[in-house]
Each structure stands twice: as structure tokens, then as C-alpha cells.
Structure 1
Amino acid sequence: METEDAAQPATPTIEIARNGNVILVIGPQQKRIRVCSMVLSNASRYFQAMFGPHFSEGQGLTFNPADPKEIEMPEDDADALELVCCIIHVRNDVVPNVLAPQKLLEFLATADKFECLIAMRFIGRIWLSQQLDGQHRPLKDYAAQIIAAYVLDHPSSFTKATWRFIKHWDGSLTDLQLPTAGFDISDNLYWHIIYAITAERTRFYTKFVDILAL
């Protein structure tokens, strides 16, 4: 009995795909999730390459669920990657109905890294719309929503988040530190977002002046 207990993994395995042939061991907490390599490969070019013959993760890979291959991913966000895998495997029974702004950014950053952002766009827009339909939030949440809307290519949400942001931000936009949650925000993207926020603020003030002039 002692030998059997010692052979057991430190953390239980989350069965996203019960017949999956791969167990991803993610993050410093070593979260274990069972997935199907073929399902992930169909949705993600990153996984398609990783499970291919040119990388160690794909070498010796079989489709035998009785002998799943363990793949260590210590630097990745365990919760975000688990959520990405749940959506790819159509595990809607465990996908949350709502997601906080910062968690949404972390989710999108992970989806972008694993090259499956398009597959996450529909649910991402739903989560973002729910956030924007809610009550007043801290300023940092509106900033996160602006980034998320831009990444999700959702103009109406971008406009709504920007309007809410500019009504509460009274500083210089050049001093603004946008939350990225690890998302690779290039200088061009950053300044494009700043320009868009500036345009929205100018339009807001123009409308306000027009109303006062009536």
C-alpha cells in the first residue's frame, strides 16, 4: 500500500477529456489536467506544433488513454490554460457564466500565447458584455475592459468601456499604465489604444459643449 500511495501524483487530475491521451502539468502549483492532443491540435497551431514529431512532447505520443503522456508546463497560468482547454473541449458544464476583468485579460493572454484566440472570441465577448452591463467598477477594471475589447475586436464594447473610463480618469493619458496581465502589448498597440481613448474623450467633451450651447 505504501508503494502505491507513493506512486500517486501530488495533486488530483482534472478530467477535462476522460479518454484523453495527455496530462498537462501546469504552473508552479502543478495543476494536472487530462486533455486530448488531437482536440487541442485542431484548435491551436501552438499545440499542433508541440504535439508534432519535431518536439519532444509529440515524440512517442500515443492515443491510448490508459497510458497518457505527462507534459510539464511550469511557466504557464494554470487556471487560464485550464479554462482554454475546457472551451476547446466543449466542456460547457464547467465553463463559468461570468469572468472578472483581470481574469478575462489573463485568459486572453493565454489564448493568444497558444494561438487559439479566434476560438475564444465568442465566449470572451459574452463575458466582456456581461461586465459592461453590470454596475460601477474600479477604474482599473475599465482599463482592463478596454484592452480586452481591443484584443477581442469588439468595437461596441471598446466604446462603452472607453466612455466609462474617461468619465472617471482625470489624469494625463500618457501617464496611464494599462493592465496587461502578461499580455504582450506592443508600443504600436499601446499608442493605438491611447489614441482611441483620446478620440472618445474628445467626442465626449464635444457633445457636452454642444449640449451646454443649446
Structure 2
Amino acid sequence: MPDDDARAVETICNIIHLRNDAVPLSLAPKEVFEIAVAADKFDCASAVKLASIFWLKTSGTEVQVVSELALLMSAAYILDNVDAFGEITLAMMMMRYKESYLPLADHLFNFVLWEVLFMLEARRNM
């Protein structure tokens, strides 16, 4: 489809067709997010679950930018990866981020519940 991220769809196809040599070992947070969105759209999130566990774990430990952590949090949410979601949201709360988390919802509205961002904001202000 024209609206889909071609690289994300290609990665999903490589996973489904067991072309492990063509599946990246690491991805940027935006790429992980795009794969999660495409996997959700084409109802194949379970097919990418194992690879996404690796991507979310390795990407989340290196990221120090809250907007990139928000992309990873969204990917974990979309792919129903509870452990990664918890670790990434905890990392977001522990950052010394002075701005509100609520503007992040502008880009993630269709993917993450508003309540999650409200809870992050409330927890940070405790």
C-alpha cells in the first residue's frame, strides 16, 4: 500500500519468510515503531513478536531522548510487550525531562491511550 512504510513491510516479510539474514539486529526507535504499526495493520504482530523483544530491549537501553522513548513505548504497547512497555515507561519517568509528556500524544494519539501519557505526567509530578 502506498501509505505503508516499505522498509517496515519488507522487514515483516523477511521475518515471516524466515529470511533471518535480512532481518536487522538493531533498529532506530522510529523504525521499530513503523514496523509495529505495519504489523498491527496487517494483523501479524505475533509474527514479529520475537524480533521485537530484541529490538525493544536493545533500543530502549541506549535511547536518551524522550521522543524516541515515546516511539519505543508505543511500539511495545502496539505489540503487547508488557515487559518492554514497563521498562521503557520507567526509563521515561526516570529521565530528567522538564517538559510535559502530553505534547507527545499529538504524534501517538492513534496508538497509545491518552491515559498512559496522563499517568506518566501525574507520576512525574508526585
TM-score of the aligned structures, taking structure 2 as reference length: 0.82
Q: What are the residue-to-residue correspondences of 1:145-164 with 2, within 5 Å?
A: 145-164=72-91
1:147–1:74 Cα change, 3 Å: closer
Residues 163, 200 of structure 1: 8 Å contact kept: no
CA distance in 2, matches of 1:196, 1:156: 18
Q: Structure 2 counterpart of 1:86, which letter? A: N
Pick the aligned partner of 1:194 from 117, 120, 126.
Answer: 117
1:140–1:176 Cα change, 3 Å: closer
Residue 66 of structure 2 is aligned to residue 139 of structure 1:
yes
1:179–1:80 Cα change, 3 Å: same
Residues 159, 200 of structure 1: 8 Å contact kept: no
What does residue 11 of structure 2 align with?
83
CA distance in 1, matches of 2:121, 2:115: 10
Gaps of at least 5 residues in structure 2 are none
Residues 97, 127 of structure 1: 8 Å contact kept: yes
Deviation at 1:158, TM superposition (A): 1.9
State the identity %.
34
What does residue 129 of structure 1 align with?
57
Taking CA–CA contacts closer than 8 Å with sequence separation of 6 or more, which of the two structures ends up with the larger relative contact order?
Answer: 2
- Give the 3-state SS of the residue equivalent to 1:147 in structure 2: helix
What does residue 176 of structure 1 align with?
104
Superposed CA offset, 1:108-145 (max 9, x none)? 111111111121112111100011233x5222111112
Superposed CA offset, 1:147-176 (max 9, x none)? 122122223322222222232322233333
- Give the 3-state SS of the residue equivalent to 1:176 in structure 2: helix
CA distance in 2, matches of 1:121, 1:179: 23
How large is the Cα RMSD of the aligned pairs? 2.3
The answer to which structure has the higher helix fraction is 2
CA distance in 2, matches of 1:74, 1:149: 25
Residues 80, 110 of structure 1: 8 Å contact kept: yes
Residue 92 of structure 2 is aligned to residue 165 of structure 1:
yes
Residues 73, 89 of structure 2: 8 Å contact kept: yes
